[in-house]
């Protein structure tokens, strides 16, 4: 499970991505703006009933804040990152192979020009 600080960061990032102000969030949660600010930046612990209210207000699953998983793909964030690296490595290998083929072709052309010049 994520620690309290990373949950707060995730809430903040989700709220900002959705274009929702802290004031609007406070209104949705029927609390004061100051109380909501304490949720994002203050000492308020979030692994409580509030996490479900916040998730509902942001229209996301509470698990998005609590677990280190990507629920859309069903894989852990580490697995997702690993797959992205593997994909990048494979793409780079294909590019290297293509560049090697270009070098061979250029060497062949250069060789034929050198022979004609002699």
Distances (CA, A) of 14 to 8, 22, 94, 101: 10, 12, 36, 46
Highest mean pLDDT among 1-5, 56-60, 63-67, 72-76: 56-60
Write out pLDDT tens, residues 36-69. Answer: 998 888 887 766 667 788 888 998 877 777 765 5
Token duo for residue 101: 């083929």
Banded pLDDT at 74 (limits 50, 70, 90): low
Rounded distance between C-alpha atoms, residue 36 and residue 42, angstroms: 9
Which has more pLDDT, 102 or 10? 102
Residues 25/56, Cβ–Cβ less than 8 Å: no
Write out pLDDT tens, residues 98-113. Answer: 999 999 999 988 887 7
User: What pLDDT does residue 21 have?
Assistant: 96
Token duo for residue 62: 């509470």
| CATH T-level topology, domain 4-67 | 434 Repressor (Amino-terminal Domain) (1.10.260)
- In the chain, how many H helices and how many E strands? 6, 2
């Amino acid at each position: 499970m994520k620690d309290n600080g990373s949950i707060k960061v995730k809430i903040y990032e989700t709220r900002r991505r959705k274009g929702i102000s802290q004031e609007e969030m406070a209104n949705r949660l029927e609390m004061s703006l100051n109380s909501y600010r304490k949720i994002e930046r203050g000492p308020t612990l979030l692994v409580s009933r509030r996490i479900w209210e916040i998730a509902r207000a942001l229209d996301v699953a509470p698990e998005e804040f609590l677990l280190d998983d990507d629920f859309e793909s069903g894989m852990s964030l580490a697995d997702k990152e690993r797959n992205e690296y593997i994909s990048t490595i494979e793409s780079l290998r294909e590019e290297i192979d293509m560049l090697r083929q270009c070098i061979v072709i250029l060497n062949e052309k250069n060789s034929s020009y050198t022979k004609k010049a002699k």
